[in-house]
Chains A and B, each alone.
Chain A
């Protein structure tokens, strides 16, 4: 691959030994961003702070010190991460003008390792969407075809990586928001085990499935970044300890002998695009050629995952969005006559259609009289799905399938049909509801548009998932 960027570990090594300057890397990133503004992948750059940090890092190294595992590596953060150096908006009007007084834990960890945030990526406002069209800053375009969507909600992050604006980008993944855009845009998108990376300082969508997403060109880079940002955080009580063996792929596996892989039947039904299915089948053969045994598996309750997801997630969204009331930060109607009017007008004007739709659904399913029938029932089904998925992992080591039923769709084709838009999440919400790690890697194209292979594994098996994905990617790229 003829890339602008070296592998991330090599960039950091060269910065640390003085053969590359952080300042030049930041300039390169900002220049690439500037050259690709037509894609609207970026909401705002953090150029001033990035240049300042770069010069500090270069000085540090000149003085004989090292600057960390990610010394001088530029990255882009989805605009729902609280980051210094620009506003943090979650692509919603209600947060325009909000300057974060603290940074997300993962941003702090990246900075401590020497990485430099250069820009904030576009997204569906608050993460609500699968196409990055639902942004108050306008849609992001697919890097392979400007008439198509890049996927979402981390479409800006995926497009930025594919357009080589930075070696990696952070997204978030609540129901597939990093994996599906990776599939549509053609890069690697990884959702860790729930709790492996801190949610502190990330604008919440649905707390029980929100995770950080890491997007990069290849799995090794993603694993390298994972090493730097995982682990327990005193500011997030749902975080878990990271694997003491780390996540870096320093000893790549050579084959998949003795490994059993289940191809999820529920993700290969008639409703799925033939081209997508063929790409996945071809890829499955490649995995077999590496020694893996690929067998079809059925997880019947997965067919309920989308319905469960669109009850539980709006419920949490309606709750998490309550704080945007126009009283302490963000947009507030300057002409409101009283408190009620201030609440109503600030929220009515600040939130977009999709946020309001989800607040309505969530409020409804939590209302007294409906809680048992919707929220409670959905939680029960969620437990059933978790149990079935766990059971499946007793007979296979990994699960595979597509990340979406189609390749990237036309801009505007689903924006008036929310149900159609929700269906784009159908293959990714399962891993979100069950908290298991999942990764999408590029696996060929259909009519020039990328297709992604999704690989899933049991909770906390992120290290081996990354190792298998790295080998698979190598084999696919052959």
Chain B
């Protein structure tokens, strides 16, 4: 599809709403005491009479899923509903054993909410319409060339939270930012593993364009499983719809799919094939009633959300991109505990600032380089960083040595008992001993007569060069400020 020109595109307003299915990290399924982790399991091994929809089987709700959905409510700046119900959504499909999906149609567990995003420095707010619990379906596979299909019910009954946004999104970049922020929220609230590769979060993107105040006909592109595909599919749909409208062709309300290979959306199901789901309250499941105590307890146990962290980290002097690096790195690896360590040290602002810097500039890049093998466990890290910090404060480490020491220590599974002794043994402790430094200064002055002459004639830039030479000779151990003082005294007095 040819991209429409900016001129044409600017005539249209774009409206996007996103539905996101988040797989909750429960041990067992939403309505059956069967393992919820289907990764690597042989087909149809994680099933019970409930997952199979056998006669007489009754669903029993998993209390943990209610808890996680309640946490998600707070992450979405909402409050879990004190009263919510389960409903049946009817349709026939081989991956849906009971002939209906159990979902929350009439009274969902989350009503309302907000997600704050930021695109190139411009803040946006996306309102949340609702979020509801529902059971996932199984998986159909269609072996190539076979005259049969296979059904795997391992995934049937996995608890999902479907988060529905208002149509508050107006560009592909905003759509991507929203999807990404949802991901961080679910990670920080510890509601989901949010493993996109394994489909823990799946996005359905509703797009319409219009030249008037009235919304245009929308299409829904389903089952996107990366932030990039959310952005690309929205972009593609906008171009496709404007292209059609410019030719005078009406948009069909339809369900579309995204093909990562061709980077295109394709029609899957038209409006005329839409189901009448005949929603009905599920008489097998009493309403979920949450007490005030329960709701208060959930709120208390919720960790700091990305938003709060952003303002805290900005207060420590980190810039937007550093903050982003830190917030991402935290969720990429659950064993790093950057934020927990920071949180425990927020009262000491200087130290917290130094920590955040070291995380962003030393530990995170160090871990990212696959050549390195950091073996340290998160609980040991507070000791590591405190020791390094104290040595820096006592002028015993240069910033270069601090970096070297941190990197060396990250490779330790067990930290040395005496970190200062270890640093000394590694030759990292900086030389503040003036006798020793004066000897080095003499050598440097003797070997660099031109620089010395420059300094004498007032070109102080050359002083930095001489300090650098001292650092070189001392193998980085010289305390640079003391070295500079000595040089000045020797040359200028």
Tell me which residues across on chain A come within 8 A of B286, comparing CB atoms. Answer: 237-238
Q: How far is the CA of A104 from the CA of B49 in the complex (A)?
A: 12
Given contacts A327-B94, A343-B92, A366-B280, contact A104 B56 (CB under 8 A): yes
Cβ B55 vs Cβ A199 within 8 A: no
**Can you list, as one digit per residue, whether each of B315-333 has a CB less than 8 Å from chain A (1) or not (0)?**
0000000000000000000
Cβ B55 vs Cβ A237 within 8 A: no
CB distance from A361 to the nearest CB of B (A): 12
Cβ A102 vs Cβ B49 within 8 A: yes
Cβ A329 vs Cβ B54 within 8 A: yes
CB distance from B285 to the nearest CB of A (A): 6
Tell me which residues across on chain A come within 8 A of B279, comparing CB atoms. Answer: 366, 371
Cβ A323 vs Cβ B53 within 8 A: yes
Tell me which residues across on chain A come within 8 A of B100, comparing CB atoms. Answer: 319, 322
Given contacts A95-B55, A98-B55, A328-B97, contact A237 B61 (CB under 8 A): yes
Cβ B98 vs Cβ A322 within 8 A: yes
Given contact pairs A200-B56, A328-B52, A328-B97, a sample of 17 additional A-B residue pairs in the complex whose CB atoms are under 8 Å apart: A90-B55, A98-B55, A100-B56, A101-B54, A199-B56, A203-B55, A204-B55, A207-B283, A235-B58, A316-B283, A318-B278, A319-B99, A319-B280, A322-B100, A366-B280, A371-B279, A375-B280
Tell me which residues across on chain B come within 8 A of A343, comparing CB atoms. Answer: 92
Q: How far is the CA of A102 from the CA of B57 in the complex (A)?
A: 10
Residue among A95, A104, A199, A367 making CB contact with B278, cutoff 8 Å = A367
The answer to whether B477 has its CB under 8 Å from any CB of chain A is: no
Tell me which residues across on chain B come within 8 A of A329, comparing CB atoms. Answer: 52, 54-55
The answer to whether A234 has its CB under 8 Å from any CB of chain B is: yes
Tell me which residues across on chain A come within 8 A of B55, comparing CB atoms. Answer: 82, 88, 90, 95, 98, 100, 203-204, 323, 329
CB-CB nearest in chain A for B88 = A319
Which of B49, B58, B88, B99 has the most chain A CB atoms inside 10 A of its CB? B58
CB distance from B421 to the nearest CB of A (A): 59
Given contacts A234-B60, A327-B94, contact A367 B52 (CB under 8 A): no
Q: How far is the CA of A149 from the CA of B149 in the complex (A)?
A: 46
**Can you list, as one digit per residue, whether each of A338-370 has a CB less than 8 Å from chain B (1) or not (0)?**
010001000000000000000000010011100
The answer to whether B90 has its CB under 8 Å from any CB of chain A is: yes
CB distance from A367 to the nearest CB of B (A): 6
Task: State the 3 A-B residue pairs at the shortest beta-carbon distance, nearest first.
Answer: A322-B99, A208-B283, A366-B278
**Can you list, as one digit per residue, whether each of B73-100 has a CB less than 8 Å from chain A (1) or not (0)?**
0000000000000001010101001111
Q: How far is the CA of A6 from the CA of B416 in the complex (A)?
A: 82
Q: Which of B415-463 contact A (CB under 8 A)?
A: none
Cβ B99 vs Cβ A325 within 8 A: yes
- Interface size class for chain A? 35 or more
What would be 10 A-B contacts, judged by CB atoms less than 8 Å apart?
A203-B55, A237-B284, A316-B283, A322-B90, A322-B98, A322-B99, A327-B151, A329-B52, A366-B278, A368-B278
Q: How far is the CA of A199 from the CA of B151 in the complex (A)?
A: 28
The answer to whether B214 has its CB under 8 Å from any CB of chain A is: no
Q: How far is the CA of A280 from the CA of B94 in the complex (A)?
A: 53
The answer to whether B293 has its CB under 8 Å from any CB of chain A is: no
Q: How far is the CA of A322 from the CA of B283 in the complex (A)?
A: 15
The answer to whether B276 has its CB under 8 Å from any CB of chain A is: yes
The answer to whether A236 has its CB under 8 Å from any CB of chain B is: yes
CB distance from A355 to the nearest CB of B (A): 13
Q: Which of B151-176 contact A (CB under 8 A)?
A: 151
Q: How far is the CA of A323 from the CA of B99 in the complex (A)?
A: 5
Q: Which of B251-294 contact A (CB under 8 A)?
A: 276, 278-280, 282-286
**Can you list, as one digit per residue, whether each of B32-55 has a CB less than 8 Å from chain A (1) or not (0)?**
000000000000000001001111
CB-CB nearest in chain B for A236 = B58
The answer to whether A41 has its CB under 8 Å from any CB of chain B is: no
Q: How far is the CA of A98 from the CA of B283 in the complex (A)?
A: 25
Which of B52, B61, B284 has the most chain A CB atoms inside 10 A of its CB? B284
CB distance from B58 to the nearest CB of A (A): 5
The answer to whether A8 has its CB under 8 Å from any CB of chain B is: no
The answer to whether A202 has its CB under 8 Å from any CB of chain B is: yes
Cβ A323 vs Cβ B56 within 8 A: no
Which of B49, B99, B276 has the most chain A CB atoms inside 10 A of its CB? B99
Q: How far is the CA of A101 from the CA of B49 in the complex (A)?
A: 8
Tell me which residues across on chain B come within 8 A of A234, comparing CB atoms. Answer: 60
Cβ B60 vs Cβ A235 within 8 A: yes
CB distance from A109 to the nearest CB of B (A): 15
Cβ A323 vs Cβ B49 within 8 A: no
Tell me which residues across on chain B come within 8 A of A325, comparing CB atoms. Answer: 92, 99
Q: Which of A196-212 contact B (CB under 8 A)?
A: 199-204, 206-208
Tell me which residues across on chain A come within 8 A of B282, comparing CB atoms. Answer: 207
Tell me which residues across on chain A come within 8 A of B90, comparing CB atoms. Answer: 319, 322, 366
Tell me which residues across on chain A come within 8 A of B49, comparing CB atoms. Answer: 101-102
Q: How far is the CA of A200 from the CA of B282 in the complex (A)?
A: 15
**Can you list, as one digit per residue, whether each of A216-240 has a CB less than 8 Å from chain B (1) or not (0)?**
0000000000000000001111100
CB distance from B479 to the nearest CB of A (A): 69
CB distance from B106 to the nearest CB of A (A): 10
Q: How far is the CA of A199 from the CA of B56 in the complex (A)?
A: 7
CB distance from A313 to the nearest CB of B (A): 11
